[in-house]
Amino acid sequence: MLLSRTVAVLAGSLVSGWAFCQQSVFLQPDQFFLKGRTALVDLRRSSAPSLVPEEWSDAPVKWSFLRTGEVQENRDDIGEWLRPDGRLELKIPASGPIMFGIDFLPRIESVNSTDLRKLTKAPVGAGTVKIRHYRTAVTILRTQWGPGVDSPGSAVATSETSLTSAVHLMMDPSSLMLGGDIAFEVVMRGLEIEDATVKINHRSSGETLVRDDAERYRFTPDKPGVWDMEVQFVRPLKDDPEAQFELYSTTMTFEVPRP
């Protein structure tokens, strides 16, 4: 795996001792390449060295969207997408690339000041610090409905979102050939972020990369399969009675196809 700048490459056994400040959440589809017209999506949260199940009821949603080349559906409540068994089921309205994203309601959390210092150069007091934690998650899917089905030519996977924070891809990973680059930006409310820490993980092998030195990133997947991207950055607050800092956690999941 190649990066455009120096990066720490950590084996899975070493990553278990390294974690972000607070837990992020990830969207986990049953399948990233769909032959049917529905997609089942579960929720996972980071718990080094792996991801563990998270109940949808434990992560209240601010808003969500399902974007295809033909239409975007927005929801303030994911209730109509939840099945009786608690799993989320999306109805796919069009073929081609699909982006599904969620902006979760922010919440006040307590963090250890030592952990917070890993993500910010701003002065941090000793002991426990109150933060307002913003979490977002996106996944990229693609339909495979067979020959004769029109797939709208679109830039769905590389389009920008209105999420509080997001990973903005410059290349559709669902159509990537191994050896091709994926460039991306970290964005907060439409503005590019220069000081984010990014972790990129290949799900099956556990190979993980961490970097924290650039606003624009580029990496070259050297393996097919599912990839997770996890990003965090911090902003200090002034005169806020509830929190001293804002923490932004955003994730992206996708699958690079086999040759």
Q: Which of 189, 199, 201 is nearest to 235 (CA)?
A: 189
What pLDDT, on the 0 to 100 scale, is given for residue 149?
A: 64
What pLDDT, on the 0 to 100 scale, is given for residue 21?
A: 66
CA distance 174 to 91: 19
- pLDDT tens-place values along the chain, 259 residues long: 443 332 333 323 223 333 466 899 999 999 999 989 999 999 999 877 778 999 999 999 999 999 998 889 999 999 999 999 999 999 998 888 999 999 999 999 999 999 898 888 899 988 999 999 999 999 999 987 776 666 666 789 999 999 999 999 999 999 888 888 888 999 999 899 888 888 999 988 888 877 665 545 778 888 999 999 999 999 999 999 999 999 999 999 999 998 8
What pLDDT, on the 0 to 100 scale, is given for residue 128?
A: 92
E strand or H helix at 161: none
Q: Tally Cβ neighbours within 10 Å of residue 138.
A: 26
Do residues 229 and 116 make contact, with C-beta atoms less than 8 angstroms apart?
A: no
What pLDDT, on the 0 to 100 scale, is given for residue 208?
A: 84
How big, in percent rounded to 5, are the helix, strand and coil portions of the chain?
Answer: 10, 50, 45
What pLDDT, on the 0 to 100 scale, is given for residue 152?
A: 67
What pLDDT, on the 0 to 100 scale, is given for residue 3?
A: 39
Residue with tokens 């990133």: 217
* CA atoms within a 13 Å half-sphere pointing along the CA-CB vector of 180: 15
What pLDDT, on the 0 to 100 scale, is given for residue 7?
A: 34
Do residues 230 and 50 make contact, with C-beta atoms less than 8 angstroms apart?
A: no
Do residues 132 and 247 make contact, with C-beta atoms less than 8 angstroms apart?
A: yes
